[in-house]
Amino acid sequence: MITTPEQLIDDIGELVSLPEACVRINEMVDDPDCSVEDIGKVISSDPALTLRILKIANSPFYGLSTGVDTVSRAITVLGTVQLRDLILASSACNTFEGIPNDLISMDDFWHHSIFCGITARKLANSRMQGRGEALFVTGLLHDVGQLIIFNRLPVEAKQVLLRIKNTNRASGLHLIEQQIIGFDHSQVAAALTRRWKLPTYIQECVAFHHTPLKAGTFPQEAAIIHIAQAITNLAVKASLEYNDIDYIDDNIWKTAGLTKGIIEQTISEVTPEISEVQAMFAG
Tell me the domain boundaries of the chain: 5-281
Q: What is the pTM of this model?
A: 0.88
Start-to-end C-alpha separation, the chain = 36
Q: Please check whether residue 170 is in contact with residue 164, taking contact to mean a CB–CB distance below 8 angstroms.
A: yes
| Listed residue (94, 93, 90, 114) closest to 25, CA to CA | 90
- Angular region, 36: left φ>0, alpha ψ -120 to 50, beta rest: alpha
Residue 65: the pLDDT is: 66
Residue 183: the pLDDT is: 95
Q: Domain spanning 5-281: which CATH class is it, in words? A: mainly alpha
Angle at which helices 132-141 and 219-236 pack, to 10 degrees? 60
CA quadruple 78, 95, 2, 152: dihedral sign? positive
Q: Which residues of the chain have pLDDT under 70?
A: 14, 63-65, 98, 100, 130, 168-171, 237-246, 282-283
Helices assigned H by DSSP within the chain: 5-12, 20-29, 36-44, 47-57, 71-78, 80-96, 106-127, 132-141, 144-152, 154-167, 173-180, 185-195, 200-207, 219-236, 250-256, 263-270, 274-281
